Amino acid sequence: MRRSGRKRQDDQAGVDLSPLIDCVFLLLIFFLVTTMFKKFEHQIPIRMPDITSSLAEASREDVFQVGMSAAGRFHLQDAVGARGVLLFQAPLPLDEVLAHLGSTRKRDDPLRLVVEKQTKFQDVIHALDAFQHAGFQDVDLRVTNRIAR
147 neighbors 114 (Cβ within 8 angstroms):
yes
Mean pLDDT of successive 10-residue stretches along the chain, which has 149 residues: 57 82 94 73 63 54 81 79 66 85 84 85 88 86 77
At residue 41, the pLDDT reads 59
The overall pTM is greater than 0.85: no
The secondary structure of residue 92, as a DSSP letter, is: B
d(C-alpha 10, C-alpha 38), whole Å: 48
At residue 149, the pLDDT reads 63
Parse the chain into domains and list their residue ranges: 63-144
- CATH architecture observed for domain 63-144: 2-Layer Sandwich (3.30)
